[in-house]
Each structure stands twice: as structure tokens, then as C-alpha cells.
Amino acid sequence: MITNKTKQIIQIALSEDKVSRDKTTNLVMPAKEKGKAAIIAKQKGILCGAEVVRFIFKKIDKEARIKFFAKDADSVGKNQRVAVISGNLQTILKAERVALNFLSLLSGVATATRLLINKVKKTKVVIKDTRKTTPGLRELEKYAVSIGGGKNHRCNLAEGIIVKDNHLKAAAIVSKKNEVNHKRLESAMKNLRKKTKFPIEIEVENFKEFLEVARHHPDIIMLDNFSKNNLIKAVNHRNQYFPKIEIEASGGISLENIERVASTGVDSISIGSITHSPNALDFSLEID
């Protein structure tokens, strides 16, 4: 998972923390002192970011040795030792915060994803992420979603077609009164089919809009903030008249209500919170 983009992100983080100019460590620790430290999970969750942590320590000290006792996607328990770092103690202390920041964030995203998936494991629904990611960290956060068992939606605007409500309004396909201009929508669909091979996804905000958009056979219809009853109505209508259309639910979905949403028969659920506001998983580094 250490891509060129990831290397750049790590370098920015190390530069931000000015690890080479750590006044405390440089003045307190003998320069050649060797030792060991353990990374300990302070709460249970899903591990993610092992190779990032390894890369950070090796980036500062090529001689450092890192042994993980768990791998990405493994469950870790409270107070479990997940890794031991051996080498120069100055290196270990300087890299500590940057390494733990990445490990905590990515494990938090993976854990949040896994919790949601466990809630709907009796269904066939797919959990997807969104582009609501931390600026600059999208690649890593989407990797963490996949480690948690989720599916990555498009990673950027060039990787897929999603016609959102603002596209529909800006292109005068949907009026201020939520009326669909079928000629404009048909023209847009023809243009999309002609110029791209991506599946075409269209977002709708109410059941009436759903009925009208379904007539144009997009590949996916995203139902934004639909009630449970309207989700059921949309799924039933799709099943009867447009069985090839995938239905995606989105908006206001949480750990508390995801089971109700999944029970309606939608094919997928996209959730921004798993990347824009996950709870970081707590880790500590302790010198042995």
C-alpha cells in the first residue's frame, strides 16, 4: 500500500513534525542508544496501516526493525501488543507520533467500516464510501475502507459518473419545482452513453423524481435521504419494471439505522461518515 502518493503524504507529515529537529529527544537521548518499543492497542478494533508505520520508521532509520503481530484487517484487542520496534531510540521517539497518527486514523476508518458491515451481514447490501475524505488523505482512507470490508466508490471526479442534484438543476433537467425535463435528461443520457463507458448514476431526492428518472434506464439511481417507506416503494418499483437498475441509498445513514435501510432491499449504501468523522482507534508506544 506504499504508493508514490502515500510516500509524499508521509513526507509531508514528517516535515510537519520536524522530526530531524526534535529538541527534546536530541538533548535528552544519547545519539547511539539502542532499544525496543511496543505499539499497544488501547481499545479493540480493526488494524490498518501496518505498512505505513513500517515505512515511517524505516524512512528515518534504515536499520530499524519492525515486527507486527497482526496484519491489516485483523481484529485487535484492548491492551494487545501489535508490534515491536527495535533500533536507535532517538529514531523510535522521533517517529512515534507521526506513526501512531496514521495508525489510529486508518484503523479508525477500518473499524467504523467493519462495524457497519457487521450490522448488515445478513443481507447482500454493499457498503460504499464517498469522496467525503480528509483533504490529501483520500488514497489512504479509501484503502482503510477496503480493509474494513467496504467498497470504494469513485476515488475522484475522473473515475466515474454521478449526476448529482446540483448537476440536474444547473443543467435545467430538474426545475425548482422538482419537475423533470425529459428531453434534456434524454439528451444528457445519450451524451453520457456516447462519450463514456462508466456506469451512469443519477441522484434523486424524492419518489416522484425516482419514477421519472428510472424511465431513462440509468445504471444506478442514488436515493438521497429517502424514508424507509419510500425506499421500499422504490425497490418494489425497480423490481417490477426496471430490474437491471441498481439502487443505492445515501444520506443520514448511521450505525443506528443502517439495518433498517438494508432491510428495504437496496443494493448498496454509501456512507460519508466512515471517512469524514470516524473515531480514531487509540494506540500507544511504550519503551520496553
Domain covering 118-276 in this structure, CATH number: 3.20.20.70
**DSSP β-bridge partners for residue 126:** 268
pTM of the predicted structure, to 2 decimals: 0.94
What is the CATH T-level fold of the domain 4-116+278-287, as seen in this structure? Aldehyde Oxidoreductase; domain 3 (3.90.1170)
The cell numbers describing 179, all together, are 419537475
Q: Is 62 exposed, middle or buried (0-12, 13-18, 19+ CB in 10 A)?
A: exposed
Instruction: For the chain, give every domain's residue range.
Output: 4-116+278-287, 118-276
Torsion sign over Cα 162, 166, 170, 174: positive
Pairing of strands 81-88, 34-41: antiparallel
What pLDDT is stored for residue 96 in this prediction?
96
132 is annotated as an active-site residue: yes
Phi and psi at residue 248, to the nearest 5°: -115, 130
What does the alpha-carbon distance between residue 284 and residue 234 come to, in Å, rounded to a whole number?
48
pLDDT in tens, 132-187: 999 999 999 999 999 999 999 999 999 999 999 999 999 999 987 788 999 999 99
pLDDT at 212 over 80: yes
pLDDT-based confidence at residue 251 (cuts at 50, 70, 90):
very high
Do 4-116+278-287 and 118-276 fold alike per CATH?
A: no
What lies within 8 Å, CB to CB, of 34 at 6+ separation is: 86, 87, 88, 89
Calculate mean pLDDT across residues 108-115: 98
3-state SS string over 100-164?
HHHHHHHHHHHHHHHHHHHHCCCCCCEEECCCCCCCCCHHHHHHHHHHHCCECCCCCCCCCEEEC
Contact 173, 151 (CB under 8 A): no
The cell numbers describing 35, all together, are 532499544
Q: Which of 36, 58, 132, 233 is catalytic?
A: 132
